[in-house]
Structures are given as C-alpha cells and as structure tokens.
Structure 1
Amino acid sequence: MKTSRVFHVGAVVSLVFLILWLVAWEAWLAPIRPGAWLLALKAVPLLVPLLGALKRDIYTLQWSSMVILLYFAEGAVRVYSDTAPLSRMMAGGEAFLVAIYFVCTVLFLRPYKLAAKKIAKELLERVNTVNK
C-alpha cells in the first residue's frame, strides 16, 4: 500500500470515527446533563469536509486540517474541566482522533505542497530570466 494512501485512509477513518465518537458522547454516553443531546450536533460541521476527504480534494483537506483544531481545543479543555470521568475520557478520545486526522492530513498533503513549491520556483526562475 502506497504511503499517501495510508495517510488518506488514516485521515478518512479518523474523521468518521470522530463524528461517531462525538455523537455517541454527547447523545448517549456522557451528555452534559441527562437529555441534553443537542450538543451532539457539533459533529454536523464535520460532515462538510468528509465528502472532500473521501474524494481526496486537496483544498478541502487543507482547510479542514486547520478547522479540526477547534475540536482539539474543545477536547483539551474538557479533559481538564469536566468532572465526570467518562466525559473526560471521551474528551481525551476526541483530542486523540483530531490529532490523528491532523497528522494524517498534513502527511498526505506534504508531497503536493513540495510539488507546488517546485513549480513556483521554476516559474519564478523563468520570470527572472525573461526580465534580464
């Protein structure tokens, strides 16, 4: 299996698990208070980059790797602020899944970024030779 494929699969799988994790956490396993399932809707925005991630859309993977860090921040804060042990564990799982998605996405995008830099450098050299 090619390395970029591994990172792509890792990003998609971690994103799917993150969506399921958030819904299970806030709807059934450890909601903030009984019956407070509305916080599970925080997983809905993650459906937007899911389609792009499945299609290997470079632009979607780039912006989602930054937006996903909001979920990392939420998980990190709740690890230290939630009083319920199960909720703290779920928050840690959220931060872990976000970290996997972020790392896999960045490593998947790395060859594309290097190729874009190479093309930009070549274009700049051409412009400089024309201007001389």
Structure 2
Amino acid sequence: MTTRLARLLALTGYFGLMLWVVLWHTLISPHPDLGIGFMLALWLPWLLIPVKGMVQGNPYTHAWAVYLLMPYFLHSATLLWVDEGERWLAVVELLLASTMFVGNTYYAKLRGRELGLSIRRKKDAE
C-alpha cells in the first residue's frame, strides 16, 4: 500500500463517517425519543477532535485518531446483533469506521517512515 492510498482511505473513512453520522441521525433514521441535537452532540464531537491534524496529514494525529473509532465500532457491532431494522445502517457505519482505521494505521506507519519517525526496536537501539 502506498502512502497516498492510505491517506485517501483514511480521509474517505473519516469524512464519510462524519457525514454518515449526520445523515443517519437527522434524515435517515432519527431517534424517536431523543432529539436530533442530542444525538449529534453525542456522536459528532469525537470526530471533530482530530479534524485539523487529519486535514494537514499529520501522521501522529492519524495514529491516535484510531482510538476515537471504538464507540463507532461498538455501536455498529451492537446494532448488527440486536436491530434488524437498522442493520444496513450499522453495516455502512462499520465499513466507514474500518476504512478509516485501516487508512489511518497505514498512513501513520508509512508517512512516519518517510519522515524518519519510526520507533526503533530495543534490539536496534543497543
């Protein structure tokens, strides 16, 4: 995988997931009991945290942003298991989160190597 492809995957997953969260909770399937504003305040801010570093292509931001994906993985996996009505929505969320995860992981690794930021093994350091 090339650095350019990894970055494309990372940004596609990232902005796709951001757009998907907004579409899901406002137009496609708003929660019947909770307001749209509450749902967006619950799901969207986590994706806004790394926006500057993601857009700038900072490999460090790409590396730690994968930790912010856990709620989206858990949410989609739970819905896949328990809710037939929203299963297809969960599949899209899982695909976008997985795309971002793979893209971020490879981009951080490959771009970090290009910049000489790789972590040395203990054996190599001695």
TM-score, normalised with respect to structure 2? 0.81
Aligned length: 121
Which deviations, in whole Å up to 9, do the C-alpha atoms of 1:70-90 show, x marking residues without a partner? Answer: 21111111122225x2x2211
* Counterpart for residue 82 of structure 2: 81
CA change 1:113–1:66 in 2 (3 A) is farther
* Counterpart for residue 45 of structure 1: 46
Which protein shows a greater Rg? 1
Gaps of 5+ in 1: 126-132
* Counterpart for residue 61 of structure 2: 60
Which deviations, in whole Å up to 9, do the C-alpha atoms of 1:29-78 show, x marking residues without a partner? Answer: 11221773121331222012122111111221111112212211111111
Aligned partners of 2:6 and 2:103 also within 8 Å:
yes
* Counterpart for residue 27 of structure 2: 28
Aligned partners of 1:79 and 1:91 also within 8 Å:
yes
* Counterpart for residue 128 of structure 1: none
Aligned counterparts of 1:5 and 1:24: Cα–Cα separation in 2: 28
Gaps of 5+ in 2: none
* Alignment RMSD (CA, Å): 2.5
Aligned counterparts of 1:80 and 1:30: Cα–Cα separation in 2: 18
Structure number with greater CO (CA < 8 Å, separation at least 6) is 2
* Counterpart for residue 95 of structure 1: 94
Which has the larger displacement, 95-104 or 42-51? 42-51
- AA at the equivalent of 1:45: W
Aligned counterparts of 1:61 and 1:29: Cα–Cα separation in 2: 29
TM-score, normalised with respect to structure 1? 0.78
Greater helix percent: which structure? 1
